[in-house]
Structure 1
Amino acid sequence: MTNAKLTSLMARGTEFLGCDVAIMCGAMSWVSERNLVAAISNAGGFGVIACGAMTPELLDKEILGTKALTNKPFGVNLITMHPQLFDLIEVCARHEVGHVVLAGGLPPKGSIDAIKAMGAKLICFAPALSLAKKLTRSGVDALVIEGMEAGGHIGPVSTSVLAQEILPEMAAQLPVFVAGGIGRGELIAGYLEMGAAGVQLGTRFACAAESIAHPNFKKSFFRASARDAISSVQIDPRLPVIPVRALKNEGTEAFTAKQREVANLLDSGVVDMGEAQLQIEHYWAGALRRAVIDGDVEGGSLMAGQSVGMVTKEEPVADIIAQLMAEAVVALERRSA
Structure 2
Amino acid sequence: MAATNKTLSLMARGREFLGSETAILCGAMSWVSERNLVAAISNAGGFGVIACGAMTPELLDAEITATKALTEKPFGVNLITMHPMLFDLIDVCSSHGVGHVVLAGGIPPKGSVEAIKSGGAKVICFAPTLMLGKKLLRAGADALVIEGMEAGGHIGPVSTSVLAQEILPVLAEEHLVFVAGGIGRGEAMAGYLEMGAAGVQLGTRFACASESIAHPDFKKMFFRASARDAIASVQVDPRLPVIPVRAIRNKGTEAFTAKQREVALKLDAGEVDMGAAQLEIEHFWAGALRRAVIDGDVEGGSVMAGQSVGMVKEEEPVAQIMASLMEQSEAALTTRSAA
Bin of the TM-score, shorter chain as denominator length:
over 0.9
Q: Letter of the aligned partner of 1:39 in structure 2? A: A
Q: Which residue of 1 aligns with 2:138?
A: 137
Q: Deviation string for 1:188-213 (max 9, x for gaps)?
A: 00000000000000000000000000
Aligned partners of 1:322 and 1:183: how far apart in 2? 13
Give 1:173 deviation, angstroms.
2.0
- The answer to whether structure 1 residue 70 and structure 2 residue 71 are counterparts is yes
**TM-score normalised to the size of structure 2?**
0.99
8 Å CA contact 1:6–1:332 kept in 2: the answer is yes
Q: Letter of the aligned partner of 2:295 in structure 1? A: D
8 Å CA contact 1:2–1:332 kept in 2: the answer is no
Aligned partners of 2:128 and 2:7: how far apart in 1? 26
For 1:145-184, what aligned pairs fall within 5 Å after superposition?
145-184=146-185
For 1:73-84, what aligned pairs fall within 5 Å after superposition?
73-84=74-85
For 1:61-140, what aligned pairs fall within 5 Å after superposition?
61-140=62-141
Q: Which residue of 1 aligns with 2:22?
A: 21
Give 1:2 deviation, angstroms.
7.6
The residue matched to 1:288 in structure 2 has which SS? helix
Give 1:272 deviation, angstroms.
1.0
- The answer to whether structure 1 residue 218 and structure 2 residue 216 are counterparts is no
Q: Deviation string for 1:45-97 (max 9, x for gaps)?
A: 00000000000000000000000000000000000000000000000000000
Q: Which residue of 2 aligns with 1:234?
A: 235
Give 1:3 deviation, angstroms.
2.8
Give 1:174 deviation, angstroms.
1.4
For 1:43-54, what aligned pairs fall within 5 Å after superposition?
43-54=44-55
Aligned partners of 2:206 and 2:46: how far apart in 1? 11
Q: Which residue of 1 aligns with 2:265?
A: 264
Runs of 4+ in 1 over 3 A off after TM superposition: none
Aligned partners of 1:297 and 1:210: how far apart in 2? 20
8 Å CA contact 1:213–1:293 kept in 2: the answer is yes
Aligned partners of 2:234 and 2:223: how far apart in 1? 25
Q: Which residue of 2 aligns with 1:243?
A: 244
Give 1:334 deviation, angstroms.
0.6
Q: Which residue of 1 aligns with 2:189?
A: 188
The residue matched to 1:102 in structure 2 has which SS? strand
Q: Which runs of 5+ in 1 are unaligned?
A: none
Q: Deviation string for 1:5-25 (max 9, x for gaps)?
A: 211101111000000011000
Give 1:147 deviation, angstroms.
0.1
Aligned partners of 1:40 and 1:34: how far apart in 2? 10
Q: Which residue of 2 aligns with 1:329?
A: 330
Aligned partners of 1:281 and 1:274: how far apart in 2? 11
Q: Letter of the aligned partner of 2:160 in structure 1? A: T
8 Å CA contact 1:148–1:154 kept in 2: the answer is yes
- Greater displacement, 182-191 / 167-176: 167-176
Aligned partners of 1:7 and 1:287: how far apart in 2? 38
The residue matched to 2:284 in structure 1 has which SS? helix
Aligned partners of 1:326 and 1:3: how far apart in 2? 7
Q: Deviation string for 1:312-337 (max 9, x for gaps)?
A: 00000000000000000110011011
Q: Which residue of 2 aligns with 1:287?
A: 288
Aligned partners of 1:219 and 1:24: how far apart in 2? 24
Aligned partners of 1:87 and 1:177: how far apart in 2? 27
Aligned partners of 1:75 and 1:93: how far apart in 2? 11
Aligned partners of 1:319 and 1:287: how far apart in 2? 30
Aligned partners of 1:123 and 1:276: how far apart in 2? 27
The residue matched to 2:11 in structure 1 has which SS? helix
Q: Which residue of 1 aligns with 2:31?
A: 30
Q: Letter of the aligned partner of 2:115 in structure 1? A: A
Q: Which runs of 5+ in 2 are unaligned?
A: none
Q: Letter of the aligned partner of 1:24 in structure 2? A: L
Q: Deviation string for 1:114-136 (max 9, x for gaps)?
A: 00101100000000000010011
Aligned partners of 1:283 and 1:183: how far apart in 2? 28
8 Å CA contact 1:182–1:307 kept in 2: the answer is yes
**TM-score normalised to the size of structure 1?**
0.99
Q: Deviation string for 1:276-329 (max 9, x for gaps)?
A: 111000000000000000000000000000000000000000000000000001
Aligned partners of 1:132 and 1:279: how far apart in 2? 28
Aligned partners of 1:77 and 1:168: how far apart in 2? 27
The residue matched to 2:109 in structure 1 has which SS? coil
The residue matched to 1:246 in structure 2 has which SS? strand
Matched residues, percent identical? Answer: 80
Give 1:4 deviation, angstroms.
2.1
The residue matched to 2:72 in structure 1 has which SS? coil
Give 1:43 deviation, angstroms.
0.1
Aligned partners of 1:283 and 1:11: how far apart in 2? 40
Q: Letter of the aligned partner of 2:256 in structure 1? A: F
Aligned CA RMSD, in angstroms, stands at 0.8
Aligned partners of 1:321 and 1:288: how far apart in 2? 25
The residue matched to 2:77 in structure 1 has which SS? strand
Q: Letter of the aligned partner of 1:189 in structure 2? A: A
Q: Letter of the aligned partner of 2:286 in structure 1? A: A
Paired residue total? 337
